[in-house]
Amino acid sequence: MPMLNMSNTLMLTPGAYSLGRPQRSPRDSSASTLAPAGLYGRTMAGDLVRFGVAMDADLLQRFDEHIGAKGYGNRSEALRDLVRADLVNAHLKRDGLAVATLTLVYDHHVRELSEKLTDMQHDLGEHVVSTLHVHLDHDHCLEVIVLRGPAGLIQSAADRLLATKGVKHGRLVATALPENSHHHADDEHEHGAR
Ligand code: NI
């Protein structure tokens, strides 16, 4: 059975494609003595679970080249980041709590634009966490607005700000707090206030 070195937590076991519960590696004896089999379905954060993945060799080679170019040292961290990104996307799609930055570039000579943008942010109340303003050049201002709130509300607020006349371009980058990026239905711990 070909395996990566021990520093890589992804074991390749071609042909063994498991759709069931993740299995602990038999080599990971410390983990298996700490956690009886019945706990596998509700592992706590920090538990390391090894699982086998079967993948087309060409696809895997392209993946390795891709993550190597991005600077990943091993497949495991790249896979973990992919999983986290997908969980964050799902969280945002179901209108979960988002934290976001909205970057705007606008022409401050446009009549009352600065006031309008400020008014819109005041209307958003607690959803505006902070604003950074940079005078880019004689004509242009850059504003970075840190937002927090339900994903849908943050998106529509960003759309309105970006659509305001005189705003030249910008972009919303939304993500989620790590503890809000997945469900905790079975968890025994409580989260603090949102
Ligand atoms: Ni300015």
Read off the pLDDT of residues 137-148 as tens digits, 9 standing for 90 and up.
999 999 999 999
25 has pLDDT over 80: no
**55 CA → ligand 1 middle, Å:** 52
* Residues 43-67 pLDDT 10s: 566 789 999 999 999 999 999 999 9
**187 CA → ligand 1 middle, Å:** 47
**138 CA → ligand 1 middle, Å:** 9
**144 CA → ligand 1 middle, Å:** 12
The residue among 18, 19, 23, 25 whose CA lies nearest residue 39 is 23
User: Could you tell me the domains of the chain?
Assistant: 97-178 (3.30.70.1150)
**156 CA → ligand 1 middle, Å:** 24
Residue 34 pLDDT class (50, 70, 90 cuts): very low
**67 CA → ligand 1 middle, Å:** 39
**174 CA → ligand 1 middle, Å:** 24
Q: How far is CA 40 from CA 6, 35, 182, in A?
A: 22, 8, 17
* Residues 110-144 pLDDT 10s: 999 999 999 999 999 999 999 999 999 999 999 99
**154 CA → ligand 1 middle, Å:** 23
Which one of 3-7, 169-173, 188-192 scores highest in mean pLDDT?
Answer: 169-173
**117 CA → ligand 1 middle, Å:** 12
**60 CA → ligand 1 middle, Å:** 48
Question: Starting from the edge strand earliest in sequence, which strands make up the sheet with 128-135, in order?
Answer: 128-135, 140-150, 97-107, 167-175
Phi, psi of 37 (to 5 degrees): -55, -35
Give bridge partners of residue 178 from the DSSP assignment: none
Q: CA-CA distance, 192 to 194, in Å (whole number)?
A: 6
